Amino acid sequence: MPRGSREACHTGCAAYPEGVSAPLVLGIETSCDETGVGLVRGYDLLVDAVASSVDEHARFGGIIPEIAARAHLEAMVPTIERALATAQVTLDEVDAIAVTAGPGLVGPLTTGAAAAKALALGLGKPLYGVNHVIGHAVVDELVDGPFPERVMALVVSGGHSSLLLVDDTVHVTELGSTLDDAAGEAFDKVGRLLGLPYPGGPHIDRLAREGDPAAIRFPRGLTAPKDQARHATDFSFSGLKTAVARWVESRRDAGEEIPLEDVAASFAAAVADVLTAKTIAACRREGVSTLVVGGGFSANSQLRDMAAERCAQAGIELRIPPIRYCTDNGAMIAALGSAVVRRGMPASPLDLPVDSTMPLTQVLV
C-alpha cells in the first residue's frame, strides 16, 4: 500500500427504486497533494481510497506543485486498483468517470484529468469534469442523505472560504468568499509564526483545546457596521493574522513567554466567530433552514462546536460530514459526479480543460 494511503468503506441511503441499479461512478481527485479515488453508486459510497504526499511537502512549509504532480502520477494506478479491489468491482462495471476539473493547482489537476480521460476513452464511458469546491459540500449526501431543495453551504479549506447557496444540489449561487487569506491558509501562517509544524491547522486546533478563547480579543474582519453593506457575506482573515503576529512579536520583544494555548484558542475563536456569524445571518436572509459545512478546515473543533451551538439557537439543521471526508478525497468527486449523472446533465468533452480558477457557480465543464 502506498505511503500515506488510506481507505474507507461506507454504505449510505439508497434512493433508487427497488430493482433499479444506480450508475456506478468512479471519482478522481488531484487538486492538491492527495490522490483520491472514490466509487459511488447513487448515494452509496462503496470505497474512498486516498494516497497523500503531504509528508513530502512538510519540509518546505507548503505545497510544491511539481512534487504533488509527480506524486499523483506515481500513486494514480495503485490507488485506482486498490479502490476497485476494496469495493470488489471491476473497471468494466463502472458507468461514468468524474474528475476534478478545478479549482486547484494546474499540474496536479492535469495529472488527474489525463488519467480520467484515458479511462473514459479506453472504457467508452462518459466523462464529467466537476468542481472540487462544490464536491466538498455534496459529499455530505453520502452521509446524511439527499439535500433538501435548497441548502446553504460553507466551504472552508486552505484555499477557499466560500458561502454558497445550493439549489437542487447542482445549481450554485456564490454569495460570498474570502477577500484575502482563506481560513485554513491563515491557520497555516499563524502556525508558522508560532513555530508549529506544517500544516498548522491540526496543531493550532490541539493547542486551542487547552487554552482560553477569551484570553486575547483579536479582531473580527469585515464585521464592523461600515463593512456590512458591501461585505455582509465576505470574509477576511489577513488582518487577523497580522494582529496575531504583532501581539506575539510584542511579547517576544519584551522577553515574555508566549502562552501558545491562549493565542491558539483566541485566534481560532475569532475565525470560528466570523465564519459562523456571517453564515447564520445569510441563512436567515435567504430563508434557508439547512446548513452544510465542508472542506478541510471544517475538521476544526472550534468551528464545529460554534456552528452546532449557533445553528441550534437559530433552528437551522447543521450537516457536517465526518472528518475523513472533509479533506480532499475521491468520494466527494464521485458524489458530485453521481449527482450530475442523476440529473441527466451532459457529459464533458474528452478534451476538457482544467481550470485553476474554475468559478464556483460552474458545477460541470
* Known binding-site positions for substrate: 155-159, 188, 201, 205, 300
Cα–Cα distance measured from residue 90 to residue 59, given in angstroms and rounded to the nearest whole number? 38
Residues in the chain: 365
Report the sign of the C-alpha dihedral through residues 340, 342, 344, 350, in that order. Answer: positive
Whether residue 258 contacts residue 286, with contact meaning beta carbons closer than 8 Å, is answered with: no
The DSSP bridge pattern shows strands 161-167 and 5-8 to be unpaired
* Cα distance between residue 298 and residue 311, in whole Å: 15
CA-CA distance, 203 to 74, in Å (whole number)? 29
Q: List binding-site positions.
A: 132, 136, 155-159, 188, 201, 205, 300, 328
Cα separations in angstroms, 38 against 47, 103, 135, 332, 335: 6, 19, 12, 8, 8
And the C-alpha cell for 245?
503576529
Query: Which residues are annotated as part of the binding site for Fe cation?
Result: 132, 136, 328
Angle, alpha carbons 24-105-46 (nearest 5°): 20
- Residues 295-309 as b or e (16 or more Cβ within 10 Å = b): bbbbbbebbbebbee
d(CA 150, CA 287): 9
Cα(236)–Cα(178) distance, integer angstroms: 5
